[in-house]
Each structure stands twice: as structure tokens, then as C-alpha cells.
Structure 1
């Protein structure tokens, strides 16, 4: 073992956020925090599963993040990794071995110890569950060779190939540590609110598709170094309810029925502020919202069609019309706050004449109604999407108009989150519209790697696959950033992603609520939250 990454080693430096920004909620205090009370939170979409390992959507992670701790935490302002369950760690020079020294005395809420053996069993269980149930968690452990219990407080995680991204991955909710009793349950059973973690809250109630209630964990003393304090949470309870309609969420916040809400839209802001509340924004790192083509389906097999999509979209109009000034247009395959981001706005720009020229040269001829066709095939493409973000449908309806102007017919296919997941896994779509959040450029590998989910359904790419693999070996920050920059260009070259807008979390918060904070991946952390009374 070569060097302590806790002391700002080379790999930790690669995790510095590319452009820190957004309101983390740290400035909304007045007076000393007061313990007690119940926070009533309105989710825009129902959580899909109570298991942190299987958490995928933002609304789900808002809940699951509260019940598990991670080996390390990531500072949302600097991107640096900080102690949490582990108070120090080391990595081998080849990025194949990671050693964590756990804090003593940590227990799960069932009283059992969180020790090296529990960590080992957690990682083994994630690999056993696999990518179908836990795609993000499984991708973080790609090449996993096993975990060794060095002593009760020391654990060594080993990989068969370099895995430079793993240290940051160890800060994510998907690799949060749960009790041995929990991970012994089948994956489906772990979605029913029976999960036992070491976090500042525990599950008190879980109603699938409707609500979740969390209760404060008494005796909690091992909070992350990122937290404002390391002791018990201030809130006694958090009641999460699902309120799909934006106007109803906003009205409930203004009337005092809710204390905080998800997905406050631009038109909601004046009403929230008029009632004495505020809207907290932060932009998400990771892969921005975009259209992911299945390159084996219909017209999207033609690279010219995929290239035309890139310049046919007026992203600024999408932001101005649907989202508002706190949101940004997507200018690359990574969002601008992601480590390794490069600005490719010269390629991701609105140029409808260029899009028409590309289609003309490829033999796609406009028909009587303006929609193009080639060899008897109409240029009609469907887009699969779920209501995981309140603005999705409006964005795609406007994109539909923009694409029609260059001769592309876009058909919207809205589905439930459950059906969306099933059809993604089956690659049953033409275009798939979504985003993926992570504060590390390795999100490119998990999204586009041929040996990962590969929703593009593509074959091997000598250039792209080599770049995605090479960044796993790069422990030097500058070298890794260069590789990730090349990979972003390669994704565009192959037409594997059509970026649209960067997601920002917009949380409506009543004046009575203090210190609602975003963590590094723009998800909420309620450990420091308290109620003014």
C-alpha cells in the first residue's frame, strides 16, 4: 500500500468538482439548531425501492440516503473525500487495492456491529444481486475480486483490474453499508422498508408508491466530516408523501401542510416566496438529460440521423420556455459540475440548417407533410420517458416541434417508472430520455461502456472502449481529465447521446425549516436539518 488518500493524494485530487456552485442550504440558519419536530416532505414521484443499493431515482435517494452511511463522504463544495464510517484509507499505486480503517463502536440500528466483516458481506451481496437489480452499484464494483477482513476494524477491497473510480463510488448511497440481516434477504424483499443501516434515521413506515416515514436514530455519534455536527439528527421524524402535481405541492407548502417539496418549477417560485418560503437550487453533476439512441433500431441505425439530432435542438429555448434561469443548457456528455467535464458547445449547438444538410446528404427526403423518408422508411422515432422529473414531458413536447422543423417526427412514449425500467433493460425503445447523477467522470463508463448497461445496444468501439478503460488506471488528476475529455468527444462522434439540458434540483422550503442541504451528487441530506419553532 503506497499512500493515504485521506491526505489529498493524486486520486483524491481527481475528484475535485469541475465547477462548484449551487445553494447547498448551509446559509439558511438563524440561531442555534433546535432538536425535535417532524419534517413533512412532498416528493414529486414515488420512491421505487427502500433498498439503497437498488436506488436509482432522485426521489428514491432522498429517502434512502438517510438510513445508511458510506465508507467516505464527498464535500459538495470541493469534491474532496472526507471520513465517514472510515477515518482513514489507502490505495495501491495500481488502483487495484483499497484499504479502509473503520471507526470503532459503530453499530447498525438493530444493535449489531458495523465491522469489517459486515463491509465484506455487503460488497459480496451487491455483486451477487448483479446489474439487473442494482446497475449503478454493480458498475462501481466492476472487476471486483473480493474483500479481505484484515482485522475487525480494517478491510481490504481488491479488484482484478485498476478501478480508480472506486474511492468516490464508496461515498455513494448505492454502496452504503447495511446490516448483515438485511443483505441476507432476497433483493425484492429489500424493497419493502425493512432495511437496517447505521444512518441517522431508520424506517418507521413504508407504503410502496405512496409514503415513507423515517425516525431519528438515537445514539448516533459517527456523522460524516462533511456534516455540521457528528451527533444525532435534530429532526425526530421525516414524513415523505407523494404529491405528483406541481401546483398541489406548491399550494401545500404555502398553506403549511408541507414543510419542503421537490421539483419546484419556475412558475411556482413567486408563490413560494410570497408565502415566506424559498427555493434552493443546485445543479447535478453526471450525465445531463439527453436522448440515448438504440443504434440497432429503425432510422437511428443511420449515423446521419443521430448527427442531425445534435444540431436540430434549440436547447436555450428548452431552458427559457420550460425551466427558467436557474437551469443550464447541456454543452457536453457530462454536466458542467462533473470532474473531467469539457465544453463541447461548439458541437452541441442549435443549427437547423446543418441538420437539414446532413439529412439531405444521407438521402432523407422531405415528404408532403415535411417529414422525411428514405427507401420507403418514414423518419419517425419514438422517445421513451418516465415522470422522474416534472419538466420532462414539456421539454420533449417542445423538442418535438423543433425536430419537426428539420423533418424528424418524434413520438412521445410516456410510461410509469416501473415500465420504464423494464423496457430500458430489454432495450425496447428507439430513444430513451433520462439523466444520471454522479460526481465523478466515470459515469461515462457506466452509461456508455459496452460491458456495462449499454442501453445504446452498440457493438465494441476500439476508441471509446479503450478510453473508458484507460481512465480507470489514471490516478493522476490531469491525465484522467484528458482521457475523460476524449471520451466525451468519442460519445458524440458515435452518436450515442444527444444532450438537452442540465438537471438542477429545485427544492421549495418553508421559512420554518433550516439547513436543508445537498450532498455532492445534488441529493438531499437531512442530518443537519432542523425546525424553527
Structure 2
């Protein structure tokens, strides 16, 4: 997990040189363990791939920020640990009107924010009015990305909004009014950006006081120093110079108290440095270990847990700069040319699966009878001849300086696809750019002809996958103004607006069939399971297919 549909990379790994940092902080790590050992669950030190953007989840869209804020804040609805299933969190139950536009949430009693103020229906409405009322820099996609993607516009009325109003019926009953039905509600509220925050703290420390400064932002005192939620951990400090974020157990938490006394996130941007820090005992775990290291980490006694795959890697196709790619037969030829079975077995990590459509089988609307594209280079050559493109030349883009859950080794994936395409007689011109240094930007403006990209689901919904990819004609790199681009976007909007669940399921299945036969705007490649690794002293970690781990149930025992 950028603030755009093409690459919502809230989980982007910030690549850099941090080996020296890992070494220099060894003594500090040992001190932290000594202070935490033997009490409850001790102290967990987790290696983060990059620094958080800030600590106000509403203004965030990246995984490293959410990894921290998820421990501090809670949502009305949550995700059951280890699954993608919805469960109660700060709301114990919810029900909707028959038209799906009015939702009534019954709230958990006896819950306080970290500052001691009560969580109640009034707090819920103040949170939603704060989100809806954003202005200036706060109302831009760079900061309010998830609001714009899920709710649309703000209170200024410049753009339509899904949100209409919120009312506190009584302290334990909040009513949300929507402007239309959407099948993604209330599941969308499980996303980290929609966490409940203390209205008192947001007012006192001016949470909305965020200003643009060049290509970045200056955040409020609240977002930097006083994030205040209801979660099992409280914010203690952020030493930006040393890249260390410290949280402490919330002893007034409404539910089961966290086992850890302290939870520390240490920024170590380089993957090799993170592995070395784990091996040296400087940290207790880190995320997204390279698949090439899995066997050695397990052999050395570390607890490597492989998540269930809930993502998609695809070969994107931009039709703008290569007219040949507008021909469906050419796009089908590309699909037949790629040996996805071999790709999964030889390049992707253990337990990866070949993708036949644009989301995993666990998501509603998955169709078992979509058109399949088995590896058939001769069929690819025939289709190219029929399309008048026997000597097709394409640019194939791949990103450097990055590893993603769905794309753990971009160069190796690129190499396998290039070899397959050339085996079908296609002339391939390789282009590589750094992930955050031109690759994503140029994909977004449709400069890349063929490109590697993917997505990890935020929650279990077809809209979160195919709606993100194809649900708007703003993504001209997919459709290049083709008439079917609007047809596809309209079909997705219609399915999402269908109240009857069985009818909605049938519509999504048909969309998936059409995507793979009539349109083929990209080529699904694989679903791959990212791993997370911790030391053998760490107990209770439940890996999440959404990469949304919570650390309240984790403990760290003293090594023997």
C-alpha cells in the first residue's frame, strides 16, 4: 500500500541506506528490552520500512503511517484478525433502511479516548463533520485521499458526496445519512483513515491546521505530537532524528489490555539492514522479507508467517501511445504469450496463485467461467497476424528501488515476461525507472505502454478492486477514450448501486467475464502472499491478509 487510482501506494516501501542506523541503535534496543523484560509482555521493537507521514490517520494514505495509527485508533467497524471479514469494533451493531441510505450504529458503552473524554454518538458525528468539512490543503487528494475515493466531495458542494449528514440520536446511537446506496458501506469504514479521533484533542491542538509547503505539507501539533484515539496503545514520542516511534500500553483501554508495555517502531529503510537488525537482535520483527530470504530466516529459527494472498499483480496496458494496443486481438495475444504458471512457480513466492481475473476468489462476484488465457505462443502469433501486427513492438516498463507485496522482485518478473513476449515474436523495448522517481508518475499520465503494477485490497469488496482500476474514465491510460471504457465504468457503478445482494453478485460476475473477454484492459498475472517475520520470542502475532496487523495480543518473552 499514491493519491491516485493508478497507484494508491499507501504501503510504498521508502527505499534508502539505513544499515548504519541499524548498527548505531543496537545499544538503545538492548536498553529498551531491559526496561521492558519480565513485565507483562515486555517491549516489541518492529522494523519499519519508512517514516510515517504524520499521526493523523485521516491525512494518511501510506502503510507505514497506518501501521502505527492502527495501534492507537479504532473504527466503528473492524476487520476480524487474520481475515478480511467485517466485525464490530466501536459500534456493536448496525442496520440500514430498506433503501440503504440511512445507517444506524449502536455504539459500545464505557469507551474513552486517551485524553479521558467519552466516545459517544456526538464524537462520531464530530469526526464525520470534520472529515466532510475539510478545506484548503486538507481537501486535496494528497491528504484526504481515502475520503475522496470513498465519499467523494466535501461540504463546499464542489463535487457530489456520498456523505449527507450525521445525527446523535442518543449517546449510544449515531445515525449516518448517505446520498445514495453503495454496496461498500459500511465495510469502507474499516479503513484506517476513518478511525475515530478525540474531538477535544483535535480542537485543542488544531488538527485541521495543515498547510502545503512546496511538494510536502506542514502538519498540525495534533498530527505530530498528540494523536488521540481509543486504541490499546497510546502515543508516547517520535524521535525523528533516530527514526523511532514509541507507544505505551493504554491501561484504561475498554477491552483486553495490550500485553506489551511498550511498542516501538524503528525506521530502517533498507531491507538488508532490517534483516541484519533482526539477526543481531536489535529488532524483534519486520514486514515483507524478501522471498529469497524466507528459507534462511526459517532455518535460523525465526518465525516467518505467510499471509493469505489478497492482492493482484497485473500487466497494465496503455493504449494511448501505441495504436496497436487498441486492438483486442493484440491484447489477447499478449495474454496468450505469458507463461503465468511458470512465472508463479519460478519467480513468485511460495503459495502464490495464477490470477484469472482482477481479484482473488474470496471476493464477491468472482466468476469461475471467465475466459482463460493459457500459455500458447503460437496462438499469440496467430492473433498478431490476424490483427496485422506480426512484428509488434512494445515498451515494457518495470520499477526499480521497490518491493511490493504483490511484486516482490520487479526485475525478475520483468525478465520472465520479456522472455515470454519475445518467444511469441514480439519486440520488447525495456524501460525502467525508480518507483518513486518517475515510474508511477509516468504510468499515471499514460506514458508507459506495458507496465507492472498491482493492488492489495483495503477490504473485501469488488469495488475496492475493479472499481479502483476501471470505475472511472479518468484513468485514460486504461481506455484511451475507447467507448467501452465508459461502458465498463457504468457497469461497475450500476453493480455497486444494486441493493439486492444476489442481483449484485450476478452483475459483478458478468463484469468479470466481460473484462476478460470483451475488454481485457490489462492482464492479471498472480496473487502472491506477502510474509512477515518475527523472532522466536514473539508470541501472539496474527498475520492479516490485508497487511493490517494489530499488536495488542503480542508479547515478547525473555530469550533463554
TM bin, normalised by shorter chain, reads 0.7 to 0.9
Match of 1:218 in 2: 250
Contact 1:122/1:183, CA 8 A, preserved across alignment:
no
Q: Which has a greater percent of helix?
A: 2
- Provide the secondary structure at the position in 1 that maps to 2:305: strand
In structure 2, stretches of 5+ residues that fail to align are 1-37, 153-161, 212-216
Distance, in Å, in 1 between the alignment partners of 2:55 and 2:320 is 34
- TM-align CA RMSD: 3.2
The within-5 A match list for 1:46-445 is 46-76=51-81, 80-127=85-132, 128=134, 129=139, 131-142=141-152, 143-180=162-199, 181=202, 183-186=207-210, 188=217, 189=219, 192=224, 194-206=226-238, 211-222=243-254, 230-285=255-310, 287-299=311-323, 300-343=325-368, 346-366=371-391, 372=392, 378-383=393-398, 387-389=402-404, 390-406=408-424, 407-417=426-436, 422=441, 426=445, 429-430=448-449, 431=451, 433-437=453-457, 438-443=459-464, 444-445=466-467
Residue 93 of structure 1: how far off its partner (Å): 1.5
Contact 1:55/1:174, CA 8 A, preserved across alignment:
yes
Distance, in Å, in 2 between the alignment partners of 1:138 and 1:98 is 20
- More deviation, 498-507/145-154: 145-154
Contact 2:472/2:486, CA 8 A, preserved across alignment:
no
- Provide the secondary structure at the position in 1 that maps to 2:168: strand
TM-score w.r.t. length of structure 2? 0.76
Distance, in Å, in 2 between the alignment partners of 1:239 and 1:395 is 34
TM-score w.r.t. length of structure 1? 0.80
Relative to structure 1, the CA distance from residue 148 to residue 305 in structure 2 (aligned partners, 3 Å threshold; closer, same or farther) is farther
Residue 91 of structure 1: how far off its partner (Å): 1.0
Q: What is the aligned counterpart of 1:456 among 464, 478, 503?
A: 478
- More deviation, 68-77/181-190: 181-190
Distance, in Å, in 2 between the alignment partners of 1:257 and 1:104 is 40
Distance, in Å, in 1 between the alignment partners of 2:477 and 2:121 is 35
Relative to structure 1, the CA distance from residue 184 to residue 136 in structure 2 (aligned partners, 3 Å threshold; closer, same or farther) is closer
- More deviation, 120-129/329-338: 120-129
Contact 1:109/1:217, CA 8 A, preserved across alignment:
no
Cα offsets for 1:410-443 (capped at 9, x unmatched): 5343324475665566555443512131322221
Distance, in Å, in 2 between the alignment partners of 1:209 and 1:495 is 48
Match of 1:227 in 2: none
Residue 130 of structure 1: how far off its partner (Å): 5.0
Matched, 1:472 2:496: yes
Contact 1:445/1:452, CA 8 A, preserved across alignment:
no
Contact 1:49/1:55, CA 8 A, preserved across alignment:
yes
Contact 2:399/2:439, CA 8 A, preserved across alignment:
yes
